[in-house]
Every structure is written in structure tokens, then in C-alpha cells.
């Protein structure tokens, strides 16, 4: 029986987290990994205790929903809250990070970003990642492919 590869495993975790998203515009999940261990996960959703987009609609300003905290930020904030260092970690994200999340990931010491789908890949975000020597890798991921692992058992 073939084992699932690490990249597939961690990206599957991010896809699963995205299912918890409360934003109706885009469901995003992020998993932060260090030494092949998951240290945090996040999805895009509202501030704790606040209304969710799925309940009251998105709060749009300048074409962006300002009601939600992005998945990457939620994962980073989880590490901060728990006192877990992200220095040298890898993040697996369902979509290429926005410019603001990119800056936060750089500042948090993330050394690699793996993503499944392109999404408004901002040229400045790409420039910043290159300048910071942060590796990016697009991982082809089809959740339906996971069924092959279940069928083997």
C-alpha cells in the first residue's frame, strides 16, 4: 500500500480547514508545519464572537471583505497565542497568500510557502518573497485523488 506524501498530507489538512471557513467569497485554509509536525492551522473567518459572513453577508470595502481574518493570519495568531515559534516553518495554503499575509509570513520567519491554487498573486508579494529568499511551491492538489488512498485499504 502506498503512503500519502507529506506535501499531499499537509495540503489535505489545509483543504479540510478551508471547509470551516465562514466567508462566502473564498474558502481558504492554512497549515503551519515545522519538522513535519503541524504546529497550527487556520481558516478565513470572523473575529471570535463577531457575526460571520455566512450569517450576515460579507462586509465589503474597496473590493475586499474586511469582516474576515485570513487563514494564514489565523494560523500565525494561533502560534502567537500558544507561544509557538514559527521560525523556519513551512505554511501550506489552499490559495497563494495576499500581500498582507505574505508580509506577515515573512515577518514570522516562515521559510517556505506551499500553495494549491493561484489567487491574485500580487507582483510585490512575489518580489518580497524572492528578496527574503522564501521558497514558494505550487502543489498540484485534487482532493478527489485522496480517495485512491482510501480505496487501497
Residue 50 annotated as catalytic: no
Dihedral (CA of 79, 95, 98, 26) sign: negative
What is each CA distance from 103 to 107, 127, 141, in whole angstroms? 6, 11, 25
CA distances from 13 to 9, 38, 121, 129, 146 (A): 6, 9, 22, 24, 12
C-beta separation of 45 from 74 below 8 A: yes
Contact 86, 34 (CB under 8 A): yes
- Point out the catalytic residue in the list 61, 72, 87, 135: 72
Catalytic positions: 72
Amino acid at each position: 500500500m502506498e503512503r500519502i506524501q507529506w506535501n499531499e498530507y499537509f495540503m489535505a489538512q489545509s483543504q479540510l480547514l478551508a471547509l470551516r471557513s465562514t466567508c462566502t467569497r473564498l474558502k481558504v485554509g492554512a497549515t503551519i508545519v515545522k519538522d513535519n509536525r503541524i504546529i497550527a492551522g487556520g481558516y478565513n473567518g470572523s473575529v471570535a464572537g463577531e457575526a460571520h459572513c455566512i450569517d450576515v453577508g460579507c462586509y465589503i470595502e474597496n473590493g475586499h471583505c474586511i469582516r474576515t481574518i485570513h487563514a494564514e493570519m489565523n494560523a500565525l495568531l494561533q502560534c502567537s497565542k500558544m507561544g509557538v515559534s514559527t521560525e523556519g516553518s513551512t505554511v501550506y495554503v489552499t490559495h497563494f497568500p495576499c500581500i498582507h499575509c505574505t508580509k506577515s509570513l515573512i515577518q514570522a520567519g516562515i521559510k517556505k510557502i506551499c500553495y494549491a491554487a493561484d489567487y491574485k498573486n500580487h507582483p510585490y508579494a512575489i518580489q518580497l518573497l524572492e528578496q527574503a529568499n522564501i521558497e514558494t511551491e505550487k502543489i498540484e492538489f485534487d482532493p478527489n485523488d485522496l480517495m485512491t488512498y482510501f480505496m487501497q485499504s
